[in-house]
Amino acid sequence: MTTSSRTLGDLFGTFEREAFRLETLDDYSKSGNVDAYHAFLAGESQPDDYNSGWIEELRSHTGRGKRVYRVHILLRPLSDYLRFELEWGYQKNMSGGEEFFILDVTERPNPLESAPDFWFFDSESVAAMNYDGTGKFLGSEILPPERTAEFTRFRDVALAQAEPFTEWWAKYGA
């Protein structure tokens, strides 16, 4: 259900400065490229064209000076899905200019326990991402403008307490 006629795709197509994503789940395995996840689990090599459509979209934004970045809240040890996402997804997406940060709550309380997964565009438009308990994407909901301050706080807290992915990965990655 959306509160306006805009869609997540519309927001991606029209943002002018930045697109921020907060990821809160440790398993999105029923969404996106399920075949690639199974290939990863089977120990196969990452295909050269993995995520190529998303990489092209990222480059179309970052090449024009727009920022696309995300924070993932996670716990160690990593789930199989998170190992896949970080090893195949984040590593590859960085080639398109996407920036990644990790908010590791293994040894501290989660400061964003109540925050949902979301995309936040130009500090003004929020798309809440809805998933079921198995990590299957159920759709997005464009939230009304009066919710912007709440999601600005979520983003700012996440960024203030997260560390760059490459630094985190150097310490804890495979």
Residue spans of the domains in the chain: they are 8-172
How far apart CA 149 and CA 44 sit, in angstroms, is: 44
Q: 91-138: per-residue pLDDT in tens? A: 899 999 999 999 999 999 999 999 999 999 999 999 999 999 888 999
Predicted local distance difference test score (pLDDT) of residue 174: 62
Q: 133-174: per-residue pLDDT in tens? A: 888 999 999 999 999 999 999 999 999 999 999 999 999 986
Q: Judge: domain 8-172, CATH 3.40.50.
A: no
**Residue 82 scores a pLDDT above 50:** yes
H or E segment at 146?
Answer: none
One-letter amino acid at 167 equals E
**Residue 50 scores a pLDDT above 70:** yes
Q: Of 173, 157, 144, 167, nearest to 22 (Cα)? A: 157
- Band of pLDDT at residue 3, cut at 50, 70 and 90: very low
* 61 contacts 19 by C-beta, under 8 angstroms: yes
Query: In percent, how much of the chain has pLDDT > 70?
Result: 97
- Band of pLDDT at residue 5, cut at 50, 70 and 90: low
**Residue 1 scores a pLDDT above 50:** no
Predicted local distance difference test score (pLDDT) of residue 97: 97
DSSP 8-state secondary structure symbol assigned to residue 88: I
Q: 5-9, 41-45, 140-144 — which is least confidently predicted? A: 5-9
Predicted local distance difference test score (pLDDT) of residue 133: 87
Predicted local distance difference test score (pLDDT) of residue 2: 40
